[in-house]
A and B are shown apart, each in its own frame.
Chain A
Amino acid sequence: MPDRVLLKPPFGQGEPQEFDATPDVLVPLMVSGWSQCEAAGRPICTDDEIPGVAASLGITADSLRTDLAAVDFTPQKEQTEEVNENVR
């Protein structure tokens, strides 16, 4: 199964999409204006798209780009409870 890669559309219009990372797929896309999103091979998002729980922990889009692999998106039980408590 080939790797998947996130590309953004020409002129930055529209949402990034994931594609198979094979030359047959990538080359036609690249020459028609699709380009790789920042942080090669990793999804990017805006601060607005950060899940509320993650945002409450100080995670930003920039910090995700810096080292996404090191970030655990799974909220710990106590963190969830703490956030829920804050929300209440």
Chain B
Amino acid sequence: MSVRMQEVVAAFGFRKQTAIGTAAIAADCWRLSKINAALANPKLITESDAAEYGKGHEFATALIKSYWDVGFTIEKYLSAEMAAWALSFGMGKVVKTGSGGNWIYTITTPFGSAGDSVELPTFSWVEQIRIGGATVVLDRVIVGVAVESWMISLGSGPGRANSKIAIECVGSGKYVSPSSITIPAASAEKLLPAASAAVTIIGVDYIAAKDLISLEMGWKNNIRMDSGFYPGSGFQTAGDGSTGAIRGRMEYGDRVGTLRFVARYKYGSAELTKLLALTTGTAVVTLTYDANATVTVTWQQVGFAVAEIGETDGWVSVSVDCTPQYHATNAVVSAVAKCNTDNICQAPT
């Protein structure tokens, strides 16, 4: 019997794993929907012995399990819960405050030079199709997954599609099947629609002026995937060297922030002036569901790298690429995410 892809049920750890090779427990996972169909397929990379000498010919006689790779993308309508989760795992350093079910996550990026770990927190990703019977199609947990990048996209128009987040994930390669995880009931999410946006960039309130057309912002860790493999990084089956190597660490590389937007351009618009003057300032983007379900991303110092006049839906517009810069006190980017879910990116107790 054929299986519809929409039968897949996915869950993932809202807490970080205790170690890169240790899967989360069910109690530390939540179940949220997503809008893309892609699965997190663990991919076995093999090598052949074709190039080796001593066989008497140049052809392969055997395949060897070399290593495992995992990469997938989560696309979602942006919610307060997902914003807190993605930014926490995607930026890597979190302080949790709040109480009574109203939690506040203050999020920054770690700096190894300041004593922070260069390894990013990891989580577990569970996928199941037709679980619980004799006709299980898929049941696995991907272990040791880190957020490679996140990108929030805001657009103009009605509907949830105007506020989305795409989260690129990469894994250690380890997976366990069957997962032995009972996926919990679906969690409610509080959406953060584009209509709730407050956007101020270098002193201009683009919402008060009704000028903002679209905005994208994100963070990419450029995780050093190859250096995840090192002497002793481990194997798919612990202690069994024939099962393929897995990564033992997920370290960030040269991190890059992204902020770009399109706004209406009219008398008094100062984007070109700021480009020419190399003006810098903060950029603050806030999305709100209610007082306890919000996200605010602050780019501590940005300049306009590109500003081009164009046309959008018949209106004169300006497309601006910002360059996030390092601010001496506050670094590059920080976020404050409020939601009702406790223990996001916190260590298991």
Contact = CB atoms under 8 A, between A and B. Distances in A.
**Chain A CB within 10 Å, residue with most, of B95, B114, B116:** B95
**Chain B CB within 10 Å, residue with most, of A23, A26, A41:** A23
Contact of B97 (A3, A11, A12): A3
Interface in B59-112: 93-99, 104, 106, 108-109, 111
Nearest to A11: B115
A10 B104 CA distance: 22
Contacts of B346: 40
Interface in A28-85: 28, 30-33, 35-36, 38-41, 65-66
Interface of B is mostly: strand
Given A3-B97, A40-B346, A31 B106 contact: no
Given A10-B115, A36-B94, A65-B349, A21 B106 contact: yes
B97 A31 contact: no
A7 B115 contact: no
Nearest to A67: B349
Nearest to A9: B115
A33 B106 contact: no
Contacts of B109: 31
Contacts of B349: 39, 65-66
Nearest to A41: B97
Interface of A: 3, 5, 7, 10-12, 21, 23, 26-28, 30-33, 35-36, 38-41, 65-66
Given A27-B331, A28-B330, A40-B97, 12 more contacts: A3-B97, A3-B99, A5-B95, A5-B97, A30-B93, A33-B114, A33-B116, A35-B93, A35-B116, A40-B96, A40-B346, A41-B97
